[in-house]
Chain A
């Protein structure tokens, strides 16, 4: 755990750069996180990010790729174009929620 200033806000992040507290998230943080990952956010990205934030708020857990694709109505191929190399993981980081994980 470390503290980091992202988009002029001091937040706690874990070793892999994910927000420790999803409530710290702001849209500016999302833009800064996306930039770090080399992604420029379009409206389509935002649709996915909002779905992931809502899903986390409702379920207390980050969605998997299939849940994002079905729930946000974005085909999986497109998810890979929007967030290359591991969309579930990358969008979680940008949306300020934990990385999707197994039970152990």
Chain B
């Protein structure tokens, strides 16, 4: 009997558990998933909670129910991986798990504790995050009471998961205050360490003016060092200050602490991974999927999905003694909710930046690329159902895993 252990039961871990359960004969292969949290979150839905579009009920399910019957689920914290002994130490029971192959899908995690002044008395009172269910829910209550003043959204530094979510938050905030009839009383400011809201040439060219049109002010190249919650200001490493009445922070993200304890991560606890085969660079029986990798792909659910799509057939070759094919191209695909019932869609990979055009999708599309449309918004809302019922279950979507140039204006 061979044993595949999957660390992390999020988007990548759950999908790959289904795909491997389907592909590997259960008489010869045992599959185990370890995750400390009994709840699976539909993380893209967190964005909608502050604005009352989704409630917490829409974005949670018990994790256990999402695995196929062949898979053993262990709810436990991971202590550390011991790659030279092919085993994992857990904080719960059993204390150790041996593996023939290990799949690391431990994700990325916002770390407000890394920026002084965020966590404290003002946390979830005047300072909020929306990358956790608690933060998004607390922010919803605060926005309902917010009548006038300065709302500041601060991106601490890349990498973050769902890198377009800060932009979506700004668009939705503009729309939300508009609908409440108080937009003129609210100043919306985006403070970012990046040189602008858009940094890729074509996206800047096509979408460059969109924040200005919505009267959203941007403070670029601002590296926040600390926050003074009493004075209500962000302070940069160069001692510049930006005042706020309500601060929404997107903290820096780190990989799992278990990766750090194992001594196999980089400076932010991401695992060095071959960007085309998804094998851990240092180890021949460890693969890394989703946000846990250090690849230059976006940390996003669509990327986890495309990684799983190309990983499984490659893994089946590998266990037969064949070479891994360098098939993962960094494909990423996401809707950008822009408020007023519309959304953008972008589709890109390691080599090709987001381009305008049309995205063909049998049965539903085409969706417009780098351009606002109502159908993109419906696509985004429909996606929550697809996530729970199709994607996580490892069923195939009619979307190619590798990026296609069809419909794009190069």
Interface residues of B in 130-157 (CB under 8 A from A): 157
**Residue B348 CB within 8 A of the other chain:** yes
Q: Would you call B200 and A101 a contact (CB within 8 A)?
A: yes
Binary B-proximity of A76-89 (CB < 8 A = 1, otherwise 0): 11001000111011
Q: A76 CA to B194 CA in the complex, in Å?
A: 16
B183 → A minimal CB distance (Å):
25
**Residue A5 CB within 8 A of the other chain:** no
| Residues in chain B near residue A100, CB distance under 8 A | 158, 194
**Residue B31 CB within 8 A of the other chain:** no
**Residue A71 CB within 8 A of the other chain:** yes
Interface residues of B in 362-390 (CB under 8 A from A): none
- Tell me which of A21-29, A31-39, A41-49, A62-70 binds B: A62-70
Q: A100 CA to B221 CA in the complex, in Å?
A: 11
Q: Given A60-B275, A60-B350, answer yes or no on A102-B200 (Cβ-Cβ < 8 Å).
A: yes
A64 → B minimal CB distance (Å):
5
**Residue A2 CB within 8 A of the other chain:** no
Among A71, A76, A77, A103, the most chain B Cβ lie within 10 Å of the Cβ of A103
Q: Is the interface of B mostly helix, strand, loop or mixed?
A: loop
Binary A-proximity of B186-216 (CB < 8 A = 1, otherwise 0): 0000000111001110010001000000000
Counting chain B residues whose Cβ lies within 8 A of the other chain, the interface size class is 35 or more
Q: Would you call A65 and B157 a contact (CB within 8 A)?
A: yes
Which of B163, B238, B332 is within 8 Å of A80, CB to CB?
B238
Q: Would you call A102 and B238 a contact (CB within 8 A)?
A: no
A-B Cβ contacts below 8 A, count: 76
Which of B193, B198, B238, B296 is within 8 Å of A65, CB to CB?
B193
Look across to chain A and name the residue whose beta carbon is closest to the beta carbon of B296.
A61
Q: Given A64-B158, A80-B237, A89-B195, answer yes or no on A104-B294 (Cβ-Cβ < 8 Å).
A: no
Q: Would you call A103 and B164 a contact (CB within 8 A)?
A: yes
Q: Given A65-B193, A102-B194, answer yes or no on A71-B266 (Cβ-Cβ < 8 Å).
A: yes
| Residues in chain A near residue B267, CB distance under 8 A | 66-67, 70-71
Q: Would you call A104 and B164 a contact (CB within 8 A)?
A: yes
B380 → A minimal CB distance (Å):
16
Q: Would you call A99 and B354 a contact (CB within 8 A)?
A: no
**Residue B255 CB within 8 A of the other chain:** no
B263 → A minimal CB distance (Å):
15
| Residues in chain A near residue B163, CB distance under 8 A | 102-104
Q: Given A70-B268, A99-B195, answer yes or no on A104-B237 (Cβ-Cβ < 8 Å).
A: no
Interface residues of B in 287-324 (CB under 8 A from A): 294-296, 298
Q: Given A67-B268, A71-B267, A102-B198, answer yes or no on A85-B238 (Cβ-Cβ < 8 Å).
A: yes
| Residues in chain A near residue B350, CB distance under 8 A | 60
Q: Would you call A66 and B237 a contact (CB within 8 A)?
A: no
**Residue B107 CB within 8 A of the other chain:** no
Interface residues of B in 207-239 (CB under 8 A from A): 207, 221, 223, 225, 237-238
| Residues in chain B near residue A84, CB distance under 8 A | 238
Binary A-proximity of B326-337 (CB < 8 A = 1, otherwise 0): 000000100010
Interface residues of B in 238-271 (CB under 8 A from A): 238, 252, 266-268
| Residues in chain B near residue A70, CB distance under 8 A | 267-268
Which of B157, B207, B221, B268 is within 8 Å of A89, CB to CB?
B221
| Residues in chain A near residue B354, CB distance under 8 A | 103-104
Q: A101 CA to B350 CA in the complex, in Å?
A: 13
Look across to chain B and name the residue whose beta carbon is closest to the beta carbon of A72.
B267
Q: Would you call B237 and A76 a contact (CB within 8 A)?
A: yes
Look across to chain B and name the residue whose beta carbon is closest to the beta carbon of A56.
B296
Q: Would you call A59 and B237 a contact (CB within 8 A)?
A: no
| Residues in chain B near residue A67, CB distance under 8 A | 266-268
| Residues in chain B near residue A101, CB distance under 8 A | 194-195, 199-200
In the complex, besides A71-B266, A102-B199, A103-B332, 4 extra interface pairs with C-beta distance below 8 angstroms are A64-B193, A65-B157, A99-B199, A104-B203
- Residues on B lying within 8 angstroms of A by beta carbon are 157-159, 163-164, 167, 193-195, 198-200, 203, 207, 221, 223, 225, 237-238, 252, 266-268, 272, 275, 294-296, 298, 332, 336, 346, 348, 350, 354
Can you report 24 residue pairs joining A to B where beta carbons are below 8 Å apart? A58-B272, A59-B296, A60-B296, A60-B350, A64-B159, A64-B193, A66-B268, A67-B266, A67-B268, A76-B237, A77-B237, A84-B238, A85-B238, A89-B221, A100-B194, A101-B194, A101-B195, A101-B199, A102-B163, A102-B200, A103-B164, A103-B332, A103-B348, A104-B207
Please give me the 3 A-B residue pairs with the lowest Cβ-Cβ distance, nearest first: A70-B267, A61-B296, A101-B199
